[in-house]
């Protein structure tokens, strides 16, 4: 699918009233993993690009040149339409024109621009200042004029809620819509009621930012759609820094609020050996994904015990760490945990939901970036690598 087709696909989704959930990505690892999932779009976060690419805060330091190369790489390496953070347009009107041209040429489906003064700040930090409304209206008009593809969406964001109040933020959003913006984005509403007001305030599609640990309450896609929103981005970048104990047992990631698509599968989470040893299921916030139980194949438990008895001290420590994680989960009554002899019976797959928690850390003081993704796959895919696919029966264990 080429860039034009991706843009048309995103526009069509919005016109049909299909809610668009876009997880945050910032490099090719996070982008390709998220792209394997049934999301209707991806969101390239400026916070994540500044941190992962340059090792700096989201404070207006990253330039157009720094960011557009990342836009091109992710847009060309993924199949889902890509929504990209364009900060303030990286300057005045000429810069905005150049930025829109560059982002469109790089292959993304939409650009988000905000009304902050330069240097801009991350959208949920205090003391953000905005430009006069007339200045932002001019930027939007220039952006609309600069694009070649009418399906290349201009997302206009206002950061005025924090300093000037919700009424001013809605006033600006309406002015941005009148100037030609395709999607309106009011940053940092501070309550469910404010979200409800924002969702119903405009005659254009509205975007919500579900920033973990930000000022805005985290709601589900269904709740946001009921309020009038068409798109929700989940940047997923405010996870706590990992705790690094001497043996790494404290290493965990956080699943950042993106709820999985409903599927016809049984809703269980299939856990493999590496997920246990590496601690990827140790953070119990991951249970927000559960519609069933954590399913541990018996061979995984046997393999952990075998590793824990290894004469190699490194392997032995890894096995013992995995058993410790499982022990903690078994004691937690809020986590349904099943040890089953599951696999394939008469060539039929056992369906499950595999949680793949991929954590990329970029340490900025005490800040760590994590990306959590969820994908629905058959058990055949995640079991094949162990070479024991045909050996299992389907009878549940007794313990």
Q: Which of 187, 217, 234 is the endpoint of a domain?
A: 234
Q: Which of 234, 256, 285 is the endpoint of a domain?
A: 234
Which residue has better confidence, 25 or 289?
25
pLDDT of 299: 64
**Shared domain check, 168 and 298:** no
Q: Average pLDDT, stretch 281-308?
A: 59
DSSP-H helix ranges across the chain = 3-15, 28-35, 46-49, 64-77, 93-106, 133-146, 161-164, 166-178, 192-199, 221-227, 273-277, 298-308, 313-331, 379-383
pLDDT of 269: 53
Pairing between β-strand 351-356 and β-strand 269-270 as defined by DSSP bridges = parallel
Whether pTM exceeds 0.85: no
Which residue has better confidence, 84 or 217?
84
Q: Which residue, 215, 222, 229, is CA-closest to 260?
A: 222
- Report pLDDT digits (tens) over 89-127: 999 999 999 999 999 999 999 999 999 998 888 777 777
Domain-located, residue 114: yes
**Residue 51 scores a pLDDT above 60:** yes
pLDDT of 337: 59
**C-alpha span between 243 and 209 (Å, rounded):** 27
* Confidence grade of residue 387 (pLDDT, cut at 50, 70, 90): very low
Compute the mean pLDDT over every residue in the chain, rounded to the nearest whole number. 74
**Shared domain check, 223 and 151:** yes
Q: Average pLDDT, stretch 241-252?
A: 23
pLDDT of 374: 27
Domain-located, residue 242: no
pLDDT of 126: 76
Domain-located, residue 110: yes
pLDDT of 317: 85
* Confidence grade of residue 320 (pLDDT, cut at 50, 70, 90): confident
Tokens coding 153: 């969406």
**Shared domain check, 273 and 230:** no
**Residue 332 scores a pLDDT above 90:** no
**C-alpha span between 235 and 258 (Å, rounded):** 10
- Report pLDDT digits (tens) over 260-272: 333 333 445 555 5
**Shared domain check, 300 and 209:** no
Q: Which residues contact 98 (CB under 8 A, 6 or more apart)?
A: 64, 90
**Residue 296 scores a pLDDT above 80:** no
pLDDT of 74: 96
Most confidently modeled range among 173-182, 213-222, 242-251, 339-348: 173-182
Domain count, the chain: 2
**Residues above pLDDT 90, as percent of the chain:** 44
**Shared domain check, 226 and 99:** yes
pLDDT of 161: 96
**Shared domain check, 17 and 127:** yes
pLDDT of 278: 54
**Residue 346 scores a pLDDT above 50:** no
**Residues above pLDDT 70, as percent of the chain:** 66
Least confident of 33-42, 106-115, 219-228, 340-349: 340-349
Listing DSSP states for 77-110 in one string gives H-SS-EEEE-TT-SSSHHHHHHHHHHHHHHT-SE
**Shared domain check, 180 and 79:** yes
Q: Average pLDDT, stretch 322-334?
A: 71
pLDDT of 218: 86
* Confidence grade of residue 241 (pLDDT, cut at 50, 70, 90): very low
Most confidently modeled range among 41-55, 107-121, 367-381: 107-121
Q: Do you know the residue count of the chain?
A: 399
Which residue has better confidence, 201 or 305?
201
**C-alpha span between 293 and 267 (Å, rounded):** 8
**Shared domain check, 211 and 125:** yes
pLDDT of 334: 55
The CATH code of the domain that includes 347 is 3.40.50
Domain encompassing residue 164:
3-234
Tokens coding 152: 């290349």
* Confidence grade of residue 338 (pLDDT, cut at 50, 70, 90): low
């Amino acid at each position: 699918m080429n860039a034009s087709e991706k843009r048309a696909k995103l526009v069509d989704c919005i016109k049909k009233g299909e809610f668009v959930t876009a997880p945050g990505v910032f490099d090719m690892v996070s982008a390709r993993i998220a792209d394997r999932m049934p999301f209707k779009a991806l969101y390239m976060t400026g916070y994540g690009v500044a941190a992962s690419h340059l090792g700096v805060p989201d404070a207006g330091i990253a330039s157009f040149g720094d960011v557009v190369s990342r836009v091109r790489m992710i847009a060309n390496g993924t199949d889902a339409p890509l929504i990209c953070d364009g900060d303030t347009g990286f300057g005045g009107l000429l810069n905005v024109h150049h930025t829109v041209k560059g982002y469109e040429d790089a292959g993304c489906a939409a650009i988000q621009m905000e009304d902050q003064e330069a240097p801009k700040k991350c959208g949920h930090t205090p003391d953000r200042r905005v430009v006069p409304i007339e200045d932002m209206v001019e930027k939007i008009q220039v952006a609309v004029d600069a694009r070649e593809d009418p399906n290349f969406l201009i997302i206009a964001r206002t950061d005025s809620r924090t300093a000037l109040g919700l009424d001013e933020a809605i006033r600006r959003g309406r002015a941005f819509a009148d100037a030609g913006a395709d999607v309106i984005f009011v940053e940092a509403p501070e309550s469910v009621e404010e979200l409800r007001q924002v969702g119903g305030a405009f005659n254009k599609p509205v975007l919500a930012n579900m920033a973990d640990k930000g000022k805005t309450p985290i709601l589900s896609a269904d709740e946001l759609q009921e309020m009038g929103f068409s798109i929700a981005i989940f940047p997923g970048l405010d996870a706590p820094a990992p705790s690094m104990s001497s043996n790494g047992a404290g290493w965990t990631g956080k699943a950042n609020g993106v709820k999985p698509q409903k599927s016809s599968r049984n809703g269980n989470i299939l856990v493999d050996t590496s997920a246990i040893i590496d601690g990827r299921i140790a953070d119990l916030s991951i249970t927000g994904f559960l519609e069933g139980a954590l399913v541990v194949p018996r061979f995984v438990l046997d393999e952990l015990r075998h590793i824990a008895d290894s004469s190699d001290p490194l392997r032995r420590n890894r096995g013992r760490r995995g058993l410790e994680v499982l022990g903690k989960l078994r004691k937690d009554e809020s986590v349904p945990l099943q040890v089953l002899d599951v696999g394939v019976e008469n060539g039929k797959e056992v369906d499950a939901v595999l949680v793949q928690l991929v954590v990329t850390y970029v340490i900025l003081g005490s800040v760590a970036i994590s990306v959590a993704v969820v994908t629905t796959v058959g058990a055949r895919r995640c079991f094949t690598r162990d070479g024991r696919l045909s050996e299992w029966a389907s009878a549940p264990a007794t313990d």
